[in-house]
Amino acid sequence: DAWPQLLCVREKSMCVDKEDVVQVKDAFKWAIQALVGRELGASMLFNSAFEVSIGFTHAETDGDCHFLCVFSDSLHSLPSVFTRMAVVKALEKISDEEFLRQYPCPPARPATKCTPLETTCLHSSVFIAGRYNKFSRELPQTPWVIDGERRMEGSVEELIAAPLLSSFRADAFNFSSSGREDVDVRTLGNGRPFAMELVNPHRVRHTKAEVRQLQETINASSDKIRVRDLQIVTREAMGRMKEGEEEKTKSYSALIWTKKAITKADLDLKIDQKTPLRVLHRRPLAVRQRTIHSMSASYLDTHHFTLLLRTQAGTYIKEFVHGDFGRTKPNLGGLMETEADILELDVESVDVDWPPAVPE
Ligand SMILES: *[C@@H]1O[C@H](CO)[C@@H](O)[C@H](O)[C@H]1NC(C)=O
Ligand SMILES: *[C@@H]1O[C@H](CO)[C@@H](O)[C@H](O)[C@H]1NC(C)=O
């Protein structure tokens, strides 16, 4: 298929422009696509999600390019790598006159064929989203590794990923979520929005019923997590999970211990938090202002009460309760003029309206 177009180019003018020269890559595609299509019983599409890369080497062409090394620092340092980009860059530095002095025009006819290298197939990623509940206080969201050693069995992302990887037959996954909870924090209510990139899936199409079946498989695989609203989404839609994340609210329920008796609190507070000591190794030191929209307490006994909080996303709840050595101001202990600590914490809701609910 390539030849008629090449001939047109040749007939048009003796002096072809750079833009008129058909790239070998395109000529090869034109020549090969009908053959491959016939062989596979599939049609060729531009911007297809399925990509086949075929590599070739051709020693003669490499030889043609050697003179370019004189004109290019990058080629000079890697004299054997004549990638198209590197050659184009080097050519841009040479005037037409210089080029004609260095290189025969028209070029000599190649005497040898090129050698095919590897052929690789790659399907672009599939993205899948949903919400998860975490019912365990001993399950990290992502594998917990300290100094190369694994600290805890399993993780939320691995439990969700396992059935998805096998059903989509993907090579790898990438997990992201709207915020994260500590290992010992449960996530209840409607759950936390998450999205997972499945890299190079070999089986892409899944019906709604199959996705639902996958959700059931995840639900049944462990008592520690549950997943809802599982659905295939686009890469673009995934961005909505992170959109305005800082402004979103989260609700918590905390079991609090205090030294002295408790008064009911129901107020809006501004608090300043320095990056907690416990996360200083991952985040820069900074004072961030966070809003607590509402708080309410219900008494359990003289030293315990349950605190319900609705806060701006990203508020460090544990630090708000115990004060983090004065690094969160004000803090619950300070406000109540007693030592206070958090015994158990649950996320009750993450108010991000993505992904959309999937009707049962
Ligand atoms: C995961 O996502 C990051 C950022 O988008 C990307 O750099 C990385 O290559 C991805 N990992 C895989 C396995 O695709
Ligand atoms: C999985 O568990 C969630 C949360 O309990 C529930 O809403 C959902 O219907 C379950 N899905 C399936 C397919 O079992």
Q: Catalytic site residue 184? A: no
> Looking at the domain assignment, is residue 358 inside a domain?
no
Of 122, 146, 164, the last residue of a domain is 122
Residue 213 shares a structural domain with residue 308? no
Query: What residue ranges line ligand 2, CB within 6 angstroms?
Result: 212, 215-216, 219, 226-228
Q: Are residues 98 and 174 in the same domain?
A: no
Q: In this structure, are 265 and 232 located in the same domain? A: no
Of 331, 247, 261, 333, the C-alpha closest to 302 is: 261
Whether residue 360 is contained in a domain is answered as no
Which pLDDT belongs to residue 210? 97
CATH of the domain at 172: 3.30.70.2510
Centre of ligand 1 to C-alpha 127, Å, is 12
Q: Could you tell me the pTM of the whole model?
A: 0.77
Distance 197 CA to ligand 1 centre (A): 8
Distance CA 200, CA 172 (A): 7
Same domain, 262 and 346: yes
Is 14 within a domain? Answer: yes
Provide the residue-wise pLDDT of the chain in tens; the chain has 360 residues.
Answer: 344 444 444 555 556 666 778 888 888 888 888 888 898 888 878 788 988 888 888 888 888 888 887 776 665 555 457 777 888 888 888 888 888 888 888 888 889 998 999 999 999 999 999 999 999 999 999 998 888 888 888 999 999 999 999 999 999 999 999 999 999 999 999 999 999 999 999 999 999 999 999 999 999 999 999 999 999 999 998 888 888 777 789 999 999 998 887 665 533 444 567 777 777 777 667 788 899 998 888 888 888 999 999 999 889 999 999 999 989 988 998 888 889 999 999 999 998 889 999 987
- At residue 208, the pLDDT reads 96
Q: Name the closest-CA residue to atom 7, ligand 1.
A: 174
Q: What is the DSSP string of 312-356?
A: ETT--HHHHHH-TTTTEES-HHHHTTS-EEEEEEEEEEE----SP
218: nearest Cα among 153, 167, 169: 167
Amino acid identity of residue 10, one-letter, is R
- 356 falls within a domain: no
Are 322 and 308 members of one domain?
Answer: yes
Q: Are residues 49 and 158 in the same domain?
A: no
Q: Whose CA is nearest to atom 13 of ligand 2?
A: 216
What CATH number should be reported for the domain holding residue 281?
A: 3.30.70.3190
Q: Given the structure tokens 């080629």, which residue do they identify?
A: 75
Report residue 213 as tokens.
């079946």
| Nearest ligand atom owner, CA of 189 | 2
Q: Among residues 182, 184, 341, 351, which one is catalytic?
A: 182
Write down the pLDDT at residue 161: 98
> Which of 121, 161, 158 is closest to 139 using CA atoms?
158
Q: Which pLDDT value is given to residue 106?
A: 84
Q: Would residue 282 count as lying in a domain?
A: yes
Q: Any idea which ligand is nearest the CA of 176?
A: 1
Ligand number nearest CA of 172 is: 1
How much is the pLDDT for 271? Answer: 59
Q: What residues make up the domain containing 268?
A: 245-350
- Please tell me the total number of residues recorded for the chain in this structure: 360
Q: Return the best residue to mutate from 134, 192, 227, 229 for the ligand 2 pocket (most ligand atoms within 8 A of CB).
A: 227
Cα 161 to Cα 154, 173, 200: the distances in Å are 11, 7, 14
- 105 and 26 share one domain: yes
Residue 344 identity (one-letter amino acid): E
In a domain, 69, yes or no: yes
The domain total for the chain is: 3
H or E segment to which residue 269 belongs: strand 269-274
214 and 143 together in one domain: yes
Candidate from 197, 198, 200 with most ligand 1 atoms within 8 A of CB, to mutate: 197
Cα–chain center distance at 183: 21
Residue 99 lies in a domain: yes
Indicate the residue among 189, 223, 241 that finishes a domain: 241
Q: What is the pLDDT of residue 279?
A: 73
Q: Please indicate, yes or no, if residue 187 is contained in any of the structural domains.
A: yes
Q: Domain check: are 6 and 92 in the same one?
A: yes
Give the Cα separation of 345 and 313 in Å (integer). Answer: 15
- Ligand 2, pocket-test mutation among 226, 229, 358, most atoms within 8 A of CB: 226
Gap from CA of 174 to ligand 1 centroid (Å): 6
Asked which of 86, 105, 122 is the last residue of a domain, the reply is: 122
* Ligand 1 centre distance from Cα of residue 122 (Å): 15
Ligand 2: centre distance to CA 227 (Å): 6
**What string of H, E and C letters represents the secondary structure of the chain?**
CHHHHHHHHHHHCCCCCHHHCCCHHHHHHHHHHHHHHHHHCCCCCCCCCEEEEEEEECHHHHHHHHHHHHHCHHHHHCCCCCCHHHHHHHHHCCCHHHHHHHCCCCCCCCCCCCEEEEEEEEECCEEEEEEEEECCCCCCCCCCEECCEECCCCCHHHHHHHHHHHHHCCCEEEEEECCCCCCCEEEEEEEEEEEEEEECCCCCCCCHHHHHHHHHHHHHHCCCEEEEEEEEECHHHHHHHHCCHHHCEEEEEEEEEECCCCCCCCCCEEEEEECCHHHCCCCCCCEEEEEEEEEEEEEEECCEEEEEEEEECCCCHHHHHHCCCCCEECCHHHHCCCCEEEEEEEEEEECCCCCCCCCC
Smallest CA separation from ligand 1 atom 12, residue: 174
CA dihedral 347, 352, 358, 360 (to 10 degrees): 30
* β-bridge pairing 249-258 and 126-134: unpaired
